[in-house]
Amino acid sequence: MNYARTALLMAAMTGLFLALGWALGGSQGMTIALVVACGMNVFSYWFSDRLVLRMYGAREIGEAEAPHLFRMVRDLAARAQMPMPRVYIMDDDQPNAFATGRNPENAAVAATTGLLRMLEPREVAAVMAHELAHVRNRDSLIMTVTATLAGAIGMLANFGMMFGAGARDSEGRPNPLGAILGIAAAILAPLVAGLVQMAISRSREYEADRVGAEICGDPTALASALDKISRGAQAIHNDRAEANPASAHLFIVNPLAGGTRDSLFSTHPATENRIAQLLALARDRGMAPLHRATSPQTQRAPQSPSQGSRPARGPWGGGGGGGRRRGPWG
């Protein structure tokens, strides 16, 4: 269902782009804008991963620097039957992570130091599985295309507002009705394009949650991780993300703000809805339910599932029971 929805939304985005081009500049203007958009897509396809990693100061690590994290990603990639991605760490206290790369052969996953400190190993594994799901589903490519189309629509709209709509009748005379429609399209099209882009992003997050839970074999671990990351993102500012809000959709949880429900203007589904979906998946598999507080905002620090409602063991250990906690650094 999510794949079909994504295809329909991308078709709507493309149709909107072509319609706006025709309304503002006729077939010639539409062709020029399409060429520009294709050029932007080619550049984004080849270089967007390097740009975003540099933007967040991510540094690549090897097995010697973070053995547990590196081996964890390697094992998850093997379980997902995909190439081992490059692994990066970002020096940021906010718990979060993202994946980038044009295809599974040229992919990278990045986690913040805050995520590695605050989450249990099984939760880190679930987050990395979610990011590998994005890579396997080629969501980076999908989001690059939609972001480029949205940018091209905005560029075309600005051009139309600056120079006026160029609609003409069959005899080459200015068409007042076409001009009015063109101006209206220039105002509304970027807003609609942004909404479609956000809807695609939310759809892909739900799908990555589902596939990620399958890869790590522990939906409750991902649900617990999302809870902790969401509360951490609300409490800890990510300065680099605040300076580059257009990249917020890359992260597993919105690094800019937290919400309690899905919003038209949100790049991510509400965390509560994502957790509910994962817990339903766990119930379908016969796993024990995850114990969570009813009001995450009232808690000062992330909490693990209670010992009295211990989730099923995944390949990276059980819930946060007793004993000394081992961090993901090995």
CA angle at 59 for the pair 58 and 62, rounded to the nearest 5° = 140
Strand partners, 251: 98
Nearest residue to 129 via CA among 82, 94, 60: 82
Catalytic site residue from 120, 131, 205, 207: 131
Q: Which long-range contacts (CB under 8 A, 24 or more apart) does 248-256 make?
A: 249/143, 249/198, 249/201, 250/52, 250/98, 250/99, 250/100, 250/143, 251/96, 251/97, 251/98, 252/96, 252/97, 252/98, 252/127, 252/130, 252/131, 252/205, 252/226, 253/96, 253/226, 253/229, 255/94, 255/96
Contact present, 226 and 271 (Cβ < 8 Å) = yes
* Cα distances (Å, whole numbers) of residue 241 to 71, 94, 96, 192, 245: 28, 10, 11, 24, 6
Beta strands in 97-232 (DSSP E): 97-101, 107-112
Give the number of other Cβ atoms within 10 Å of residue 224's Cβ: 28
138: region left, alpha or beta (phi > 0 left; psi from -120 to 50 alpha): left
Backbone angles phi, psi at 101, to 5 degrees: 125, 145
> Is 272 annotated in the active site?
no
Nearest residue to 240 via CA among 22, 55, 15, 44: 55
DSSP 299: -
Give the H or E element holding residue 288: none
254: region left, alpha or beta (phi > 0 left; psi from -120 to 50 alpha): beta
Residues involved in catalysis: 131
